[in-house]
């Protein structure tokens, strides 16, 4: 055997620990999240994209995001920064924050018409929704609370858009920001109810909130309804029964 061949074989040799590390499972891909749970429950074998709930986790591939999805992500980040940087840390003001996020829209690789619409939608949130909503925000609120826990040997993971903490009673209210238009009856869908149930399990079983209980939650639609005179959608607060929580644990 030539020296170069022997060197190549030695360099390519794995001991047992290296081999297991290279082919071992990815713990992050095994964590149950609210979105993955909803995809599993709503799985339909007759749908064209029926395998996506499996393949996107196995391949860890990202779908191309739509304009509305990108805007939703941007608005979530804006609301987080507004609470953390304007309300709590007082590092900036709403005007400077608005300028920053309008600049982010300008950098998006969309046609001028699409970017113009996004600028208008963001400005309506800032000038109509935010002055009303900001009166309800305090330094006890938590933005984008990322939490992990293990429940019945199942790893859970999720990020809550907004938490309202009641220190005296050790209770938590969960809020989820939504862009777009709510249903005509303003009633949450089954997937939204299931998401609240999941976050209740996640928070109450987490080390950070040991001894706390989730009293309920609501979706907050941040875009004023232009067709209704720029009215702001009133959040529909939901409470979860013990029976519903028991059914969710069976699903997990």
Looking at the DSSP assignment, which residues form a beta bridge with residue 25? none
How far is it between the farthest Cα atoms of the chain?
Answer: 83
Q: Please check whether residues 206 and 123 belong to one and the same domain.
A: no
In a domain, 59, yes or no: no
C-beta of residue 229 within 8 angstroms of C-beta of residue 128:
no
Q: Would you give the DSSP letter of residue 246?
A: H
pLDDT value at 62 more than 70: no
What is the percent of the chain where pLDDT is above 90?
Answer: 51
Helix pair angle (242-251, 34-41), 10° resolution:
80
3-state helix, strand, coil in the chain (%, to 5): 50, 20, 30
The Cα–Cα gap between 45 and 179 comes to: 29
Given 116, 136, 156, which residue is the final one in a domain? Answer: 136
The count of domains in the chain is 2
pLDDT at 37: 52
Q: Please check whether residues 178 and 97 belong to one and the same domain.
A: no
Q: Please check whether residues 208 and 176 belong to one and the same domain.
A: yes
Gap between the terminal Cα atoms of the chain: 55
Taking only the tens place, the pLDDT of each residue in 85-102 is 999 999 999 999 999 999
Mean pLDDT of 167-176: 95
The Cα–Cα gap between 146 and 161 comes to: 9
Given 91, 119, 136, which residue is the final one in a domain? Answer: 136
pLDDT value at 248 more than 80: no
pLDDT at 88: 95
Please report, for the domain that includes residue 164, its CATH number: 3.90.320.10
Residue 237 vs residue 101, higher pLDDT: 101
The residue segments making up the domain with residue 152 are: 141-251
In a domain, 189, yes or no: yes
Given 95, 116, 136, which residue is the final one in a domain? Answer: 136
Q: What is the CA radius of gyration of the chain?
A: 23
């Amino acid at each position: 055997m030539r020296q170069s061949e022997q060197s190549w074989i030695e360099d390519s040799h794995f001991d047992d620990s290296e081999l297991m590390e290279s082919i071992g499972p990815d713990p992050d891909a095994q964590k149950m999240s609210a979105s993955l749970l909803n995809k599993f429950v709503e799985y339909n074998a007759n749908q064209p994209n029926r395998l996506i709930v499996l393949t996107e986790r196995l391949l860890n591939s990202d779908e191309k995001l739509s304009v509305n999805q990108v805007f939703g992500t941007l608005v979530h980040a804006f609301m987080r920064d507004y609470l953390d940087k304007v309300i709590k840390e007082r590092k900036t003001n709403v005007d400077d924050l608005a300028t920053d996020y309008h600049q982010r829209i300008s950098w998006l690789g969309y046609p001028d018409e699409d970017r113009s619409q996004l600028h208008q939608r963001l400005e309506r949130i800032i000038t109509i929704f935010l002055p009303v909503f900001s009166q309800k925000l305090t330094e006890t609120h938590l933005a984008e609370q990322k939490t992990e826990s293990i429940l019945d040997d199942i790893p859970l993971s999720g990020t809550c858009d907004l938490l309202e903490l009641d220190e005296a009673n050790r209770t938590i209210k969960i809020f989820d920001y939504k862009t777009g238009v709510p249903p005509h009856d303003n009633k949450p869908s089954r997937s939204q109810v299931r998401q609240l149930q999941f976050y209740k399990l996640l928070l109450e079983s987490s080390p950070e909130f040991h001894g706390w209980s989730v009293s309920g939650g609501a979706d907050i639609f941040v875009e004023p309804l232009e067709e209704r005179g720029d009215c702001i959608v009133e959040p529909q607060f939901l409470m979860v029964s013990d029976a519903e929580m028991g059914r969710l644990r069976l699903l997990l």
